[in-house]
């Protein structure tokens, strides 16, 4: 079937099988290999992308279901040749070792920061009745909000530091 996706700002029309995942369409049809296939079961977060501004596991959604939608991958984060602040913070705070989970961690982190800016509470939020702001983004909040992304190298302390730095808390 024919599917049109806007990926990183460019409209792309693809012929895909109805059962092809968005992850496979990005990697195999569009050669956007920054999005990683880790578990292929929605457990690790390595395949995290943004769909219409929300973080999603691309291995758990079909490409055909995303017809007409805006998709952003790790390749689309840089702007005019400059790294996204979270990408720069990952480098500065050594937020990765092997790098396999890094694109998913960064995509999840960017979305998580946007969710916090929008005032969304998490399971770690002490008082969900009061408005949430970026100043409330404690290390415990960051860990909770990033808990769907696994790191085989256990770089979690550095990932938390990178996210905190990107929001200007450190």
Average pLDDT over residues 137-143: 95
Domain with CATH 3.10.20.30 in the chain: 2-76
pLDDT tens column, 23-49: 999 999 999 999 999 999 999 999 999
Domain with CATH 1.10.150.120 in the chain: 85-166
Task: Enumerate residues 6+ apart whose C-beta is below 8 A from 48.
Answer: 35, 55, 56, 57, 58, 103, 104, 105, 107, 108, 111, 149
Task: Enumerate residues 6+ apart whose C-beta is below 8 A from 2.
Answer: 13, 14, 15
pTM: 0.94
Q: Which fold has domain 85-166?
A: DNA polymerase; domain 1 (1.10.150)
| CATH tag for 2-76 (out of 3.40.50.2300, 2.40.10.10, 3.90.1150.10, 3.10.20.30) | 3.10.20.30
pLDDT at position 63 is: 98
pLDDT tens column, 93-106: 999 999 999 999 99
With a cut of 60, say whether residue 170 has pLDDT above it. no
């Amino acid at each position: 079937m024919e599917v049109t996706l806007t990926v990183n700002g460019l409209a792309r029309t693809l012929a895909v099988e109805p059962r092809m995942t968005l992850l496979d369409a990005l990697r195999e049809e569009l050669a956007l290999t920054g999005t990683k296939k880790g578990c292929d079961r929605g457990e690790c977060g390595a395949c995290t992308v943004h769909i219409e501004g929300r973080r999603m596991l691309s291995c758990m959604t079909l490409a055909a279901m995303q017809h007409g939608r805006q998709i952003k991958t790790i390749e689309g984060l840089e702007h005019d040749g400059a790294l996204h602040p979270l990408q720069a913070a990952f480098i500065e705070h050594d937020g990765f070792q092997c790098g396999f989970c890094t694109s998913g961690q960064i995509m999840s982190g960017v979305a998580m920061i946007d969710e916090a800016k929008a005032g969304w509470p998490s399971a770690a939020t002490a008082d969900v009745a009061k408005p949430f702001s970026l100043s409330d983004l404690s290390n415990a909040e960051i860990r909770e909000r990033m808990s769907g992304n696994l790191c085989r190298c256990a770089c979690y302390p550095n990932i938390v530091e990178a996210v905190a730095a990107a929001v200007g808390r450190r």
